[in-house]
Chain A
Amino acid sequence: MRKRIAVWTLAVACLALLTASAVSWAATDQQSLTINATVSAKAKLTLGEAAINFPDADPDSVPSIAATENPVSVTVKAQTGSASSVTLTAQANGDLDSGTDTIAITNVTWTATGAGFVGGTMDTSAQSAGSWTGPGRRDGTFSYALANSWDYMPGSYSQTVVYTLTAP
Chain B
Amino acid sequence: MAAQQSTQLGSATGRARVRSILVALGLSYVIAVLSGGAHATSARLDFSVSTLSFPSADPDAVSTIDAVENPIAVDVTISGPDFTMSQLTVQAAGDLISGPDQIAIDRVGWQGQGEGFVPGPATLSKDEPKLVGQWVGRGTKNGILRFGMENSWDYAAGAYSQTVVYTLVAY
Contact = CB atoms under 8 A, between A and B. Distances in A.
A20 B27 CA distance: 11
A54 to B, nearest CB: 31
Interface residues of B, number: 69
Contacts of A30: 45, 165-168
B153 A78 contact: yes
Interface in A129-151: 134-137
Contacts of A26: 41, 169-171
A38 B55 contact: yes
Contacts of B98: 39
A115 to B, nearest CB: 15
A82 B101 contact: yes
Interface in A57-89: 77-82, 84
Contact of A32 (B13, B101, B163, B168): B163
Contact of A24 (B13, B36, B47): B36
The 4 closest A-B pairs by CB, nearest first: A16-B28, A20-B32, A40-B56, A13-B24
Contact of A13 (B27, B42, B54): B27
A41 B39 CA distance: 56
A39 B157 contact: yes
B149 to A, nearest CB: 6
B35 interface: yes
Contact of A17 (B13, B31, B167): B31
Contacts of A77: 59-60, 153
